């Protein structure tokens, strides 16, 4: 089985919950703090494709930067949303858990269960 990769912000409560679930399951995984090792636009698009999710759905709508950029009033392309998330990582919902050809948003944390099988 391929290794699990968790894209996270270490201070995020959901990220810590996912970490606990993976440790308790004895899973082989790597954590990547996307604040210290930023996601590229290419990688973020790849993760969105694996989640079968439009970029707009990955936005954290409660973040100050979301409001400052007026994103609730804009209808941008996936590429434009991805570019904004790369520039402002606070806009990215987290954690994103990837295993091979699949990825899920670990919010709620139960979403990661299929990747453990």
Token pair, residue 91, equals 């806009």
Instruction: Report DSSP state, residue 40.
Output: P
Catalytic residue among 9, 12, 32, 69: 12
Strands of 4-8's sheet in order across? 29-33, 4-8, 96-99, 102-105
Tell me how far apart the alpha carbons of residues 49 and 45 are, in angstroms, rounded to a whole number: 6
Q: Is 15 a catalytic residue?
A: no
Token pair, residue 42, equals 């290419």
What are the residue ranges of helices labelled H in the chain? Answer: 13-25, 41-51, 64-68, 78-87
Query: Where in the sequence numbering do the catalytic residues fall?
Result: 12
């Amino acid at each position: 089985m391929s290794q699990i990769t968790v894209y996270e912000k270490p201070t995020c409560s959901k990220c810590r919950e996912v970490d606990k679930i993976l440790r308790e399951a004895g899973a082989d995984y790597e954590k990547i703090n996307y604040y210290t090792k930023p996601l590229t636009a290419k990688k973020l698009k790849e993760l969105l494709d694996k989640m079968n999710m439009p970029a707009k759905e990955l936005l954290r709508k409660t973040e100050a930067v979301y409001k400052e950029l007026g994103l609730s009033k804009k209808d941008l392309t996936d590429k434009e949303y991805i570019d904004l998330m790369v520039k402002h990582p606070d806009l990215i919902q987290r954690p994103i858990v990837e295993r091979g050809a699949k990825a899920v948003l670990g919010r709620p944390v139960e979403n990661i269960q299929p990747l453990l099988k």
